[in-house]
Amino acid sequence: MKGKPFLVAISVFVLVLLGGAAIAGVGAGLTNDSEATSSQGSFTSKESPTTTVARIESSTTTHAESATQAPSVKEQPAAKEDKPKGTLTETQPKEAPAKKEPAPAKESEEPKKTDQPAPELKITHPVDGARVENKVVVFGGLVSDGATVHRGKYTAKQGGGEWRIELVLSPGKNRVTFEAISADGQVSRAAVTVYYDAPKEAETEKPAREKETVAFTAFQTYGSCAEEIPYDVFYGTAQPGATVKAQSEYGGNSVVANENGKWEMKVEFPEAPSEKPFTVTIKASSGGSHQFSFTNTRTPAKGE
C-alpha cells in the first residue's frame, strides 16, 4: 500500500508528457494546414484543433482525477473479539466430602475369668457396736497384699498389710462398709456399726460453782501401726481446762481439755522398736490415769 501513491504519480507524469507531445504534434499539423489553406484555399476534412485539445485535457484530467480519487486504503487489522467485561468464569461445583461411616461398635468384652481368691479384708477398730463421742473416727484393719481398700470414693492409706482411714460420722447409728479390690479385680467387703453420740446443744452457762465435775476418761484408736513413724490417737474427757499428757519410753504428747471437757491428741513413737509392745500412760492434771499397749508393726528395711 505504501508504493501505490508513487506509481500513481509516475503514471500522471507520463500522461502529461504524452499529452504535451500530442499537443505539439497538433500544433505542427495546424501550421501545415494553415499553410495549405492559404495556398490551396479551403480545408474541410480536418477536425477543429480546439476540440482535439479539449479531448486531451479531458483525458488527462480523467487520469489525474482517477489517481487522486483512488485513496490509499490501509488494511485494517482484524478486529479482536473482546470478551465482555464482567463475565464470570464458570466453575465446577465442588463435590461434597464423603461421609464417614461410623465404626462398628465393638462387642463388649467379657470380664476376664480368674481362679484367684478374693482378697482378705478385716476391720480391727473400732469394734462393731462401739459408741464414740468424736465426730471424726479413724477406721483400720488388715488386708491382703496387692489389694486396695476403699470407702466409697475415698481410698485408705496402706502399708505392711494394714490400712486406715478417717471418716466423719453422722449423729446416731453409722453402718460403714469397706471394699478391698485385688489387682485382678476381685472384691471383698466388710462392715462395722458405730454409734456417734453427738453432744447436746450447749445450755446456758451456769455459774462456775454450779458446773458439774467431768470424769477423766481415755480411749485408744489403733493399738498398732506400720507407718514409717508409728503413731496412735488417744481421746476422752477431762475437767475443762485440765491438761492431759501421754507418756512412754519412746514418745509422748500433751493437750488441754476444751470447755466441754473433750480432748484428743496424736502421739508419735519415732524410736519404737519393731514388733515389741510397750506401755503408754495417759494422765490428767485434774486427776486420774489410764494405760494402753502399743506395737510398732513396721518391718525395718535392710540396713536400718
pLDDT digits (tens, 9 = 90+) for 124-149: 999 999 999 999 999 999 999 999 99
Task: Write the class of the CATH domain 121-199+211-296.
Answer: mainly beta
> What region does 214 belong to: left with phi over 0, alpha with psi -120 to 50, or beta?
beta
> 211 pLDDT exceeds 90?
no
Tell me if 223 sits within 8 A of 295, measured CB to CB.
yes
Strand order across the 130-132 sheet: 130-132, 187-196, 172-181, 148-151, 154-155
Q: What is the pLDDT of residue 57?
A: 40
SS3 label, residue 224: strand
Tell me if 180 sits within 8 A of 187, measured CB to CB.
yes
23 membership: H or E segment, kind and range: helix 4-40
Contacts of 167 (CB under 8 A, 6+ apart): 136, 137, 139, 151, 154, 176
Q: Identify the CA nearest to 281 among candidates 255, 256, 249, 304.
A: 249
pTM of the predicted model, to two decimals?
Answer: 0.34
> 219 pLDDT exceeds 60?
yes
Percent of the chain with pLDDT strictly greater than 70: 60
39 confidence band (pLDDT: 50, 70, 90): very low
> 60 pLDDT exceeds 50?
no
* The three three-digit cell numbers of residue 297, written as one number: 508393726
189 confidence band (pLDDT: 50, 70, 90): very high
13 confidence band (pLDDT: 50, 70, 90): confident
Tell me if 259 sits within 8 A of 303, measured CB to CB.
no
Residue the block writes with cell 497538433? 26
Would you kindly state where each structural domain of the chain is located, as residue ranges?
Answer: 7-69, 121-199+211-296
Residue the block writes with cell 505504501? 2
For CA atoms 129, 233, 272, 255, give the dihedral sign.
negative
Number of CB atoms found within 10 A of residue 8's CB: 17
